[in-house]
Structures are given as structure tokens and as C-alpha cells.
Structure 1
Amino acid sequence: MEPEFDAEGLFDDDYLHFYRELIDTGSDAEATLIWELLGLEPGTEVLDLACGHGRLAGPLAARGCRVTGLDSSAPFLDRARTDAAARGIEVDYVLGDMRELPWTDRFDAVFNWFTAFGYFSDEGNRRVLAEVHRSLKPGGRFAMELNNVVNLLPRYLPAVVREVGEDMSIDQHRLDPITFRSHVERTIVRGGERRTIRYSVRFFTVPELRDWLRQAGFRDIEALGEDGSRLTREHERLIVTATRG
């Protein structure tokens, strides 16, 4: 059974309302890092897996990559298409499930950013890695960006509140040490209305991810921090890169 994850309820206009500053800050710098880590160049076929509203797909397309973006949120993809049209860039935005990708041997590079991995059961998460492997050309590169749990766990809080004007987003957290999943109950209070969304995300250690990636057929696996240097406990973010074997 898949864990509870209300993607439709989570990734909507409220998400952008409360997290826009966080998710948009540094997009160009992150696109530059992805460009360098994956060895991209104009004409490279790239898949932005769980692309959201296109904050990274857009800058990479503007640099000349042939970008495809896949996401399960139709509202986010609508925003991404509107943004691409306004900027005069071409991105092929596709509505879909990352556990069932419609491509084989298609991409030179795939990236999955901003903790967009770990939503599903372990079987489902492993399926994502297998689908990425199949979608890449032999020798293609993969990069994923997640929380660095070594840094996160000492500052893991039972609750986090975000405020935008009079609107509030309240997250209540519970970490299950057996499944290593963070269970979240998010209460949104906006415009005088209140609603609750529940979801959970799997946490990963580097040795575990390395094993999963190897079992999926990847090689040359590296663990880096958000600045692209070798991972340390001081890094808040973890980037794992790998090559399709």
C-alpha cells in the first residue's frame, strides 16, 4: 500500500502562495549548478522530473537545452506553459506520474530537484529510479537534490509556521524511526477559510541511496552538498549524481 500523499491538495495555488519566495530564490544559480554537474550544453536532451511550475526547466531551456518537464500537477504545468510562452522559450511540459515514464533511451540527462523524491512506498520510490534509468540514454547522467538528513535531524521541529500577511500555513511533523518517513499534517488558513492536507516523505541516507541507485543500474555515484562540493554534515542539502550503466 502506498503511504498517504495528497499531491493534488498539496501542490496548488496555496503552495505557491506560501512558498514562492523559498522555491524561486536562487533558481538561476541552481540551474547553473545543474548545468555544470550534468555537463549540459546547447542541444542536450534533458528531463526535469517533477518540474513543478518550471522554475528550473525554463532557465535551462533559455540556455539552449531541449527540455522536457514532467509533473503530476496540472495547475503547476499550466503556470509553467504560461511562463515559457511569456519568455519565448520552448519546453515540452507533460502531465504524468514519475513511476510510469513514457520514454526509453531518450534523455542525455535527468534531474529531480527540491526534495521531489520519496513521496511513495519504498517499492514506488525504487520504481522511480528504474524509470529514470530506462529513460536515459546509455551513459546518461542523473542528479537528485534532497534534504541532507545528517544536518536536518538535529533541527527537526514538531511544528513550523509560515505567515504571508494574515494567511498562515502550519505544519505538524512526526518522524517515524522505523519507516524513516516524516509525516506532516498541514493546516492552511487563507482568506478566512481553513483546510488540512496530510502527506509524508521518506528520508534517505547516502549509503541507502547509493545502494538503491546501484541496484537500479547506475554507476559513478557521488554525494555532494548544495554548493557542489563533497558532502559534509554542515550542508543543508544533498545532491546525488549518477551515470546510467
Structure 2
Amino acid sequence: MSEPRFDAEGLFDDDYLYFFAEHLDARSDAEAEVVWQLLDLQPGMEVLDLACGHGRISNRLARRGCRVTGLDSSRLFLDRARQDADTLGVTVDYVHGDMRRLPWPDRFDRVVSWFTAFGYFSDPENQRVLVQAAAALKPGGKIALDLNNHTAVVRTYQTSTLVERNGDLLIDRHHLDVLTSTNVVNRTIIRDGRARSVPYFVRMFAFTELRDWMLAAGFTAVHALGADGTALTIDSRRMIVVAER
């Protein structure tokens, strides 16, 4: 079987912001509050937002007094993040880079990986991301990852989803690879009368598997919660995993 394709440049582009940014921004204050509480954040802490996207969490943590570094592979998203930081009157160090290669050993008090920003590589590379994240933390530092809850997703699996905005369409056709716990997606975007396709995939995890990966990467005391920090259940669409180095 051929490996699924991942067109990162085609996925994380202006169309993504067009269809999703407004909706996500409306949730960002509440999600930043969840991050703040779960990670016991305090003003002055050094925080790494891993795969920060267009900065919606980074900028809000900076507004609360954290010293934030946001790393992402999309220059377009980073430009948008910097613009929003200027609008909010905050300072964030936005860095273009690869989460598999982090140049900051023992630097951060906290690491954040939010809104399914983990699971876009092969298993060895995904494991390397966790090793890199652990190494970037100071001893005693904490990480929080917000992901799809594999158990709930497979129980209510949808083979297609649709987003519409101003007559433009974004259509995802899903295939669940049960042998690898990977959601393989072909995205079709119809905007301004033009259509294009973008392949991508996301690795999904049961908590026990991800817990073992994180322990092997150097984390300790790994535990899981549902959305907003509630108890994780079979019906929780989101899983938040919090661990300490």
C-alpha cells in the first residue's frame, strides 16, 4: 500500500484562513483560558506554541503576560499571526521552522500544541516531535496537546464533511486506515469559481498509545482530559493530554 500524501503548502494557505480563521478566532479567548488553567500558567513564563498557526493562542497568552515563542511551517500563517499581534498590542517571537527540529534545549516552562497540531508525519517522525518537545522544556515543565479523541471519532465516523462560506465550498472526503489509525483526507476547495484538491492525513491516538509514546520521549505523569478540561469519556470529541517533563 502506498503512503498517503500530505500537501502541507496546499493545506495551510489562504483558503484555510478564509474558511476557518473567523470561526476559530471566535473560540480563542475561551481556549486560551483552558490552556492557562491546565498548564498552571503565570505571567513571565516562557511558552512555546508548537505549530502555532495564525497565532490565535500565542497572542492571547502573550496578552496575559507570558513570553511566547510561536513556531510554524507556514510563512503565510506567521505573517497573519504577526499582524494580529500588532493589532492586539502584544509581542510574540514568531519563528518559521520544523517541529521535528527544535533549537531550544531546556528553555521553556510550558509547551502548547493546540487544535490537532500533532500527528502529521510518519510514526517515527511524530515520536521525534515528542522527543524534541520534551527536550525544549525545562525540568518540571509541562506540555498540553489538544487532539481528536480517536475513540469518539471512530464511533461516529463521517466519510465526508462540508464547509460553505459566501457560496464557496470546502469538501473533505475521509478514509479511515484502521491498520495505522490514520484519517486520510482528500480536500476539494471550490472558491471564486475555481476548484483544486489537497491531500493530507492525520494520525489519531487512543490515550494509552500516546501516553506510552510520551513516556518514552521523556515525559512523566501523563494524563488525559476531554474538551475544556472536563473528564475524558467515550463521547468526548476532543482529547487534551497534559504531561510533565
Distance, in Å, in 1 between the alignment partners of 2:213 and 2:193 is 45
Tell me what 2:6 maps to. 5
1:161–1:171 Cα contact (<8 Å) kept: yes
Task: Read off the aligned partner of 1:142 and give its amino acid letter.
Answer: I
3-state DSSP class of the match of 1:59? helix
Q: Do residues 27 (structure 1) and 23 (structure 2) align?
A: no
SS in 2 for 1:25: helix
Match of residue 39 from structure 1? 40
Task: Find out whether 1:122 has 2:119 as its counterpart.
Answer: no
Q: Distance in 2 between matches of 1:104 and 1:215?
A: 18
- 1:148 equivalent in alignment to 2:143: no
Say whether the 8 Å CA contact 1:49–1:110 is kept in structure 2.
yes
Shift of 1:3: 4.7
8 A Cα contact 1:172 1:185, kept in partner: yes
Contact 1:77 1:95 in 2 (8 A): yes
Hey, what's the Cα distance between the residues in 1 that align with 2:217 and 2:3? 20
In structure 2, the partner of 1:222 is 223
Separation of aligned partners in 2, 1:168 and 1:36 = 36
Q: Does 1:89 align with 2:53?
A: no
Residue 174 in structure 1 maps to residue 196 in structure 2: no
Q: SS state of the match for residue 211, structure 2?
A: helix
CA drift at 1:157 = 1.0
For each residue in 1:188-218, what CA deviation from the matched residue of structure 2 results, as whole angstroms up to 9, or x when unmatched? 1100111100011101000000100000011
Q: TM-score, normalised by structure 2?
A: 0.97
Please give the per-residue CA displacement for 1:4-29, whole angstroms capped at 9, x wherever unaligned.
21111001110011112432232111
Q: Which has the larger displacement, 65-74 or 165-174?
A: 165-174
Unaligned runs of 5+ in 1: none
Q: Which amino acid aligns with 1:169?
A: L
One-letter code aligned to 1:191: D
Cα deviations across residues 34-70 of structure 1 (Å, max 9, x unaligned)? Answer: 1111111110000000000000001100000000000
For 1:91 and 1:144, locate their aligned partners in 2 and report how far apart those are by CA, in whole Å.
20
Distance 2:202 2:228 in 1: 24
Distance 1:7 1:66 in 2: 28
Name the structure 1 match of 2:140. Answer: 139
Query: Which stretch of structure 1 is more off in the superposition, 165-174 or 128-137?
Result: 165-174
Contact 1:2–1:121 under 8 Å retained in 2? no
8 A Cα contact 1:185 1:196, kept in partner: yes
SS in structure 2 of the partner of residue 174 of structure 1: strand
Q: Distance in 2 between matches of 1:134 and 1:164?
A: 41
- Residue matched to 1:71: 72
Give every structure 1 segment of 4 or more consecutive aligned residues whose post-TM-superposition deviation is greater than 3 Å: none
Moved more, 149-158 or 213-222: 149-158
What amino acid is aligned across from residue 207 of structure 2 in structure 1?
Answer: V
1:107-129 Cα shifts (integer Å, max 9, x gaps): 00001000111000000000000
Contact 2:45–2:109 at 8 Å: present in 1 too? yes
Kindly indicate whether the alpha-carbon contact (under 8 Å) linking 2:70 and 2:95 is maintained by their aligned counterparts in 1.
yes
Q: Residue 3 of structure 1 contacts residue 120 of structure 1 at CA under 8 Å; is this kept in 2?
A: no
Letter in 2 for 1:18: F
Residue 234 of structure 2 corresponds to: 233
* Secondary structure of the structure 2 residue equivalent to 1:188: strand
Residue 56 of structure 1 aligns to a residue whose secondary structure is helix
Alignment partners' CA distance in 2, 1:198 and 1:234: 28
- Partner residue of 2:101? 100
Root-mean-square deviation (Å): 1.2
| Long gaps (5+) in structure 2 | none
Residue of structure 2 equivalent to 1:198: 199
> Within 1, Cα distance between the matches of 2:189 and 2:116?
21
Q: CA deviation at 1:2?
A: 7.4
Q: How many residues align?
A: 244
CA distance in 1, matches of 2:116, 2:95: 20
Distance 1:88 1:19 in 2: 23
Check 1:155–1:21 CA distance in 2 against 1; reply closer, same or farther (3 A cut).
farther
